[in-house]
Amino acid sequence: MAKKVKVKSHSGAKKRFKLTASGKVKYQHTNKRHRLTQKDTKRKRIARNAGVSDVADAPAIKKMIPYL
């Protein structure tokens, strides 16, 4: 009988990505940590919302986070 192989999750990817109920890859935008006073309000507002990864990148990201 074939032995099941566990796959290690990518440490960086598991901190940055989550999967939605429909299977899309969700992430938080960058540039929201420090030096916010000099950044444009529009830029900060857009970064507030979660982003959804491109369809072309999703399979590679899902391979890095197999158990999330």
| DSSP per position, 35-60 | --TTS-HHHHHHHHSEEE--TTTHHH
pLDDT at 2: 85
Q: Domain range spanning residue 51?
A: 11-64
First to last CA, the chain: 27
Q: Can you give the pLDDT at residue 1?
A: 80
**Does residue 47 sit within a domain?**
yes
Q: pLDDT tens string for the chain (68 positions)? A: 889 999 999 999 999 999 999 999 999 999 999 999 999 999 999 999 999 999 999 999 999 999 98
Q: What's the domain count of the chain?
A: 1
Would residue 4 count as lying in a domain? no
